[in-house]
Every structure is written in structure tokens, then in C-alpha cells.
Structure 1
């Protein structure tokens, strides 16, 4: 992941690294220094290299310049040198802390300090990486659908077409009144994702409703931290929880069973979204928490938590959720080995605990709403909980 990007002699000096301990320093997109993976992934580090560079006056085309760099690896020649050529000794001194993230830096040229400063998690969240992040995720049905809609997102009419198709589909399955209310539930869920994206300064492309699948909240920008992934993912179910609570209060005030049925069904939809499988929201949340744990203890804690969740679901008769919790647990173990290759800044200890509590509280509140209606004596209101038990 990109830790630092500052100006050095008119070019970008970029430092990349990971929790595995490796670091790579680039000047003008050329590798000039690197450090191999090591258990000593924090503390003070120094990168030093020599640069033969012909500074170009402001009124001269940059194509006429020549540079030669030499660092800890090998000397790299990038064009013919035009006199006069100057030799620069570049040294970047950093003090790195991962949890909570903080990097302090000091740049020296020919033993003279030219700049210094520091960056924290907020700076990482707002940065636009110079090197585009590649997507190595395996294709899936929803992933391919997301890609297809991204290709069509420039046409605003597609939103209207999809919304109309979704309304027609749910009207056929239920009724027009319930279908319209259900679409409102989906929109509020996706709007939670949109609000979180905007909070982090990401560009959003709106909400797309998909018949039988739900909805998608799309953004062109890439996230830079696990915290962003957690917040964006969980804000959909959180908004859904707020809506169910509002509908529950309306049911208590009016006694209208329509509000009760909608609150119950909306809780079911959002609870399914919290299942720990990708590409559902719960899969993103638990993956970010699990892969942020630095060490075997963090992995053990995640697996233990999943096992307790499985046992709890079986105890309540929620075998459907227990099955997917088991799948999610195996996925955490499988992908844990690849955690150091991620470009995302991991959660610190506080972030891991807070995210876990937020996730558990949201899921428990949704289950509590469904449990309340299941024991209300109305057979129809007990249907969502029966769906999970079947």
C-alpha cells in the first residue's frame, strides 16, 4: 500500500510497504530502494540512493532532461544526460507505527533537510494512489452483474428501467403496495452505503435496483483502508435497522399489521446481508476485521468467534445462518495467508473491537425484532424467522 508520496526534485517520491515488513521506494516511478519482508515492520527506517540529475529550467521542455538513479538495487539509466549533470544524495528517514497508523518522515538532499511531516489514518483514507489498485477477486454472479451495470451507468434511463422491473417483479410476488414499500426498504439500505461513501469523499454513481437480487450502491473510487470497508458495508444494515425500529414504533402506535410485516421482512433482508459470505456486507465486514489482526492470536480470536456464532445459531434453531457462518469461517482461514498483499490499511485494535461490537449489535437487534414478531401470535409475522430456520 502507498504510505507516502512527496515531491523530490520536481518528481514524485513514493514509499510503499505492508505489514509483512517489506518497503519499496520509487522516484518518478522508478524503484530506487527497497527492504525485504521482515518481522521488524515498525520503527525507524532509512532509504538512501544517489541520483544523477540535470535540473531543467522552467522554460525548457522536460523531455530534454536526462537522469540516472542508483540505489540499493542497481543503477537505472533513463535517457541521455545533458550537461551540467548534478549528483544528489537522497535520504528518506521514516518512523512507522501501524496501530494506530502513523508515519513520520524527513527528506534530506545532500545532507540538507528539505521537508518533513507525518501522515495518519485520515490521510490514507483521503489519498488517491498513484498506482491503480488491481482487482484480483474471483468472478462471481453478483460481481459480473456489478461490472455490467458499471458499463451502463452513464445511461440514467437504466435506473428507471431496473426500478420499474423490480417493482413489477415484487408486485407479482406480493402486492403493489407491499412491493413499493419493499423497494423503499432496499433504497434506504443502499442509501446507507451511499452516505458512508460520501463521508469518506468517494464519488458515488447512485443506486441500482436489481430484480430478485436487491440493490447496488456503486462508486468509481477505490477505498484505502479496512475501516472504510467496514463502515461502508455496515451502514446499509444499520440504516435498515433504523427503518425497522421506526416501523415497529408505527405498528405500536397505529396497530396496523402492515407496518409490522414490513418491519419484520425488512429485518430479514438486512440480516441476510450480514451473513459472513462475500459479496454480502457481512463478508466484507468480517474479512476486514479478521485480516486486520496482526498475528496468530487475531486469527484464533476470529475463528473462535465464528464457532461460538455457529453454536449459538444451532441452539436457536437458525441452522441456515450457522451453515453460512461455517463457510465464512473457512474463508477467513483460507484468505488469511494473503492478508499482507492487500493495499488496504488494516484496522487497529480499537477499530477491530469497535467493528466487531457494531456488527454483533446490529445482527442481534435485527434478530430481536424478528423474534418479537415471531412470538406475537400472528402466523404471518412468524414467517421470516421460519425462513431462517428452514
Structure 2
């Protein structure tokens, strides 16, 4: 990830690095210093290199001429970095004279636009090809309208027109939570796309820089879904209209499904960000236990396809865990790990509570979400 980008002698001095310990320093996009990954996890580093400075010396002889003198110009960048919580202190010295110094925190990393974009190795898959096809179409605004219309038609065919509109409203509110989270970090958004039989997508062309951004953006969708279900519960208590009760229960079921620890669902991103931020084997153990419990529950409920997807997604996370330090994403600190876990569990508990509450009302329709979970 890009840790620092400052001016040095009229050109950009850029420091790239990772939590694994390696650092590379570039001046005018030319590598001038590098540090390999160190098992000692040393926080303080000194990058030293030399630039050349040309000076002209006039001499008075029979014919006036000028001699060019080339002198080395020593440059030193002192870096003191702490990863969890992230804080980087730096001092730039040229010819042993301090030129600039400062400090960077997680807020600076969140809002930066790296000079060199991170290139991801894309795996060829059906999902990847479908995603590529969608990216080719998403630039046209008419696609939003077409997808929305197709979604209404598809859900009307399965249920009813009224329920289809209500379901679309729930999906839009969920995706709006993601949009608000992106805007919180100053990211430009592309809007919401509704995909028939899939759900919705909130898109942005800008990339995230920290695990906290990944957690926050991912969990805000289900959180908004929980808020909508709570509002529907309140409307049901006020009006007594069973429509609001059904909307609260089914919306809770949709958002609960989205919190399953399966990539690319929101729950998968949350689990990955939390576990990948742990420096010990605790992160790997958490992944394995979470995957085992999730697969057991899925198969116990008769959701074989869901259990299979959960197994594949969790195994992928487990295999990727060894390379977590090479990620460009800044990890969560201990407080962020605990806070994110509690937020996730409380959201799940709230959604399950709403489903359980209406299942005990005696109405057969309101018991369907719990029956799905327990079938």
C-alpha cells in the first residue's frame, strides 16, 4: 500500500510498504531504496540514497568558459510506523538538513488516492465473467431502469405485484446503506443496480484502502435493513396491518441471508476483514470455527446449496489467510476487531429476534421466515 507521498526536490517521493515488513521508496517513480520483510518486525527504518546536483563554475582565462561540477546530494527518509493502530511518523533530510516532517494516521490512508493503482490478480470464473459483462453494461443509465423493471416483473411472477414493490423497496434501502457508507469516506458512487433473482449492487469506481472501510461499507447495508424492519414493526404496532409485519419478517430474512460469511456477500467481507487483521493463529482458528459452524447449521437446516457455497467461500478465506500481510488494505486494530465483531453479532441477533417474534404471532404467513430457517 502507499504509505507516504511527499515532494522532494520538485519531484514526488513515494513510499510503498506492507504489514509484512517490506518497504520500497520511489523518487520520480524510480526505485531508490528498499527494505525486505523482517522477522523482527522493526518499526523504525531509514532509507538513504544520493541524488546528483550540478553547479556551474565560471573561470576567467583568455577565453571565458564554465566548468560543471557534479556533487552528490545525500537524502535520508526516517520512518517510524506502527500498524495497529496505524501511525506513521516521518522526517525527510537532505544533506543532513531537515526539510519536512509529519505524521499520518488511518484517516489519511482512508481518503488517499494512490499514485499507482493496485492491480489485482483476477481469477477466471463464471462469476468473474458475469461481473465483467455487467461492468461493460453498467455505464449506461438505461441499464438501471431495465434491471429494475426486470426485477419487478420477476418478483411479481413469483409473488404478487404489491409484494414485489415492497421487496424492491427493501433491497433499495439495504443498498442505500452501502451508498451512505461509501459517501462517509468521500468515495464517488455509481448508484444502485437491481439484479433479478440476485438482489442489488451499490457500486463505486474508487477502491477501499483499509479493512475498516471494508467492514463499515459491508455492514451498513444489513444495518439499514435492520432499521427498516424495526420501522415496519412500529408501523405494525400502530396500525395493526399485517402487511407491515410480513414486510418486517421477510426483510429481516433477506438481510440475515446477506450476513452469512460467504464471499461475495457482506458477511464474507466482514469475516475476512476481521480475521485477516489478527496477527496470530487466532485469525485462522476463527475462520475455521466460523466455517465449520456455518456449514453445520446450513446442512442441519436442509440448505445444501447454501452450505456448499459457505464451505467453498470459507476455504478460500482460509487459504488466503497466509498472504494477508501482502494485502494493500490497512488492518483493523484490536479495538476495531472487537467493535466490528460486536456490531456484526448484534445485527444478526436483531434480525433473528424480529423473525422469531413474528413466528410466534400465530399467523402462518409470518411464520414462513422461521420455517425457512428451520426447514
TM over 0.5: yes
In the alignment, structure 2 segments of 5+ residues that lack a partner are 56-66
Aligned to 1:117: 102
Distance (Å, rounded) in 1 between the aligned partners of 2:24 and 2:298? 48
TM-aligned CA deviation for residue 12 of structure 1: 1.1
State whether residues 290 and 332 of structure 1, in contact with CA within 8 Å, keep that contact through their aligned partners in structure 2: no
Deviations 1:112-146 (A, max 9, x none): 11000010000000111111111224345554444
In the alignment, structure 1 segments of 5+ residues that lack a partner are 56-81
Which deviates more, 192-201 or 135-144? 135-144
Q: Structure 1 residues 359, 83: CA separation in 2 closer, same or farther (over 3 Å shift)?
A: farther
Distance (Å, rounded) in 2 between the aligned partners of 1:151 and 1:86? 53
Distance (Å, rounded) in 2 between the aligned partners of 1:277 and 1:305? 11
Aligned to 1:34: 34
Aligned to 2:16: 16
Deviations 1:300-337 (A, max 9, x none): 344345555666x479x546476665555433321101
Is 2:182 the counterpart of 1:197? Answer: yes
Deviations 1:2-28 (A, max 9, x none): 111111111111111111111111111
Is 2:19 the counterpart of 1:3? Answer: no
Aligned to 1:207: 192
Aligned to 2:203: 218
Out of 174, 186, 193, the position equivalent to 2:171 is 186
Is 2:308 the counterpart of 1:337? Answer: no
Distance (Å, rounded) in 2 between the aligned partners of 1:248 and 1:30? 60
3-state SS, counterpart of residue 381 of structure 1? helix
Q: Structure 1 residues 83, 186: CA separation in 2 closer, same or farther (over 3 Å shift)?
A: farther
Out of 139, 149, 160, the position equivalent to 1:164 is 149
Out of 270, 273, 277, the position equivalent to 1:285 is 270
Aligned to 1:276: 261
Which deviates more, 22-31 or 46-55? 46-55
Cα RMSD (Å): 2.2
Aligned to 2:231: 246
Distance (Å, rounded) in 2 between the aligned partners of 1:183 and 1:54? 68
State whether residues 287 and 318 of structure 2, in contact with CA within 8 Å, keep that contact through their aligned partners in structure 1: no
Q: Structure 1 residues 274, 314: CA separation in 2 closer, same or farther (over 3 Å shift)?
A: closer
Deviations 1:39-89 (A, max 9, x none): 23342110101112559xxxxxxxxxxxxxxxxxxxxxxxxxx95644211
- Give matches, 1:43-192, under 5 Å: 43-53=43-53, 85-192=70-177
Aligned to 2:367: 382
State whether residues 218 and 270 of structure 2, in contact with CA within 8 Å, keep that contact through their aligned partners in structure 1: yes
Aligned to 1:60: none
TM-score, normalised by the number of residues in structure 2: 0.90
